[in-house]
Structure formats: structure tokens, C-alpha cells
């Protein structure tokens, strides 16, 4: 998929979030990169054969104090190649669905929800 189309799908995913979430996203940029760096993968102690589909780097809203200010924006990175490789059909619909799931997952981290709680929520949905 061309980078421009992928970026448009990421923007659609962010824009499709309920307004109350969009309004509360503070000081955060959402960007697209091709793949995670070795540093990013190493920092997360991923097992061989696993990669990151997305990554939140910053200070979650739940950890910000009154001293929080004049800092660089938090960063949510969505990794295009990782997402495309994770989609078995390569169909745009499948890629779009995975982008949305990844965006929601990383934004949840911005709101202070950790991976353990996200796993619990996912199990409850099933």
C-alpha cells in the first residue's frame, strides 16, 4: 500500500474515535513509520519473531501532574510494514481494521491503560 493511503487510513482511525476521546487527547502526535527501530524493539523485550504494530512514547494523562508543561508532544507511532505483514490477505479492509485496533490500543496507553488491562478488556469482549 502506498504510504499516503496508509497515512490517510491512520488519520481516519483517529478521526473516527468518539469526540470525548479526541477532545481529551492532549499534547500527542500520531505518526507513521515504516518499521520499528532496533532500539524500540529492544526496549520492549519482544520475543524473536514478534514486532510492534504501534508504539506510545510519552507521559500518560494519568501520570501528568501540575508540573507537566513545556514538553515535547507524546508520540504514537503506527508501523506500516508491521501492520501490512500482520494482515494475511493484504486486503485494504483487513489493513484498515488492524490500523484502527492499533490506534485505539496506543491511544489507550495515552489515557493510562496498560497492556495487562487492555488484555483483560479484550478477553471480556469475547
Quote the mean pLDDT of the chain: 88
DSSP label at 63? G
Determine what percent of the chain is predicted with pLDDT higher than 70.
Answer: 98
Looking up residue 36, the CATH number of its domain turns out to be: 3.30.2010.20
pTM of the model: 0.87
Domain extent, residue 7, equals: 3-125
Give the per-residue pLDDT at 76.
96
Mean pLDDT, residues 74-91? 92
Domains contained in the chain, number: 1
Give the per-residue pLDDT at 126.
67
Tens digits of per-residue pLDDT, 51-79? Answer: 899 999 988 878 777 777 777 888 999 99
Amino acid at each position: 500500500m502506498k504510504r499516503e493511503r496508509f497515512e490517510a487510513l491512520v488519520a481516519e482511525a483517529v478521526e473516527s474515535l468518539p469526540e470525548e476521546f479526541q477532545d481529551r487527547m492532549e499534547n500527542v502526535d500520531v505518526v507513521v513509520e515504516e518499521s520499528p527501530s532496533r532500539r524500540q524493539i529492544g526496549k520492549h523485550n519482544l520475543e524473536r519473531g514478534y514486532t510492534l504494530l504501534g508504539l506510545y512514547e510519552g507521559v500518560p494523562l494519568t501520570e501528568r501532574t501540575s508540573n507537566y508543561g513545556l514538553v515535547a508532544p507524546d508520540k504514537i507511532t503506527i508501523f506500516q510494514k508491521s501492520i501490512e505483514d500482520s494482515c494475511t490477505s493484504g486486503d485494504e479492509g483487513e489493513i484498515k481494521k488492524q490500523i484502527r485496533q492499533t490506534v485505539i490500543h496506543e491511544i489507550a496507553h495515552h489515557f493510562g491503560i496498560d497492556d495487562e488491562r487492555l488484555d483483560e478488556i479484550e478477553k471480556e469482549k469475547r
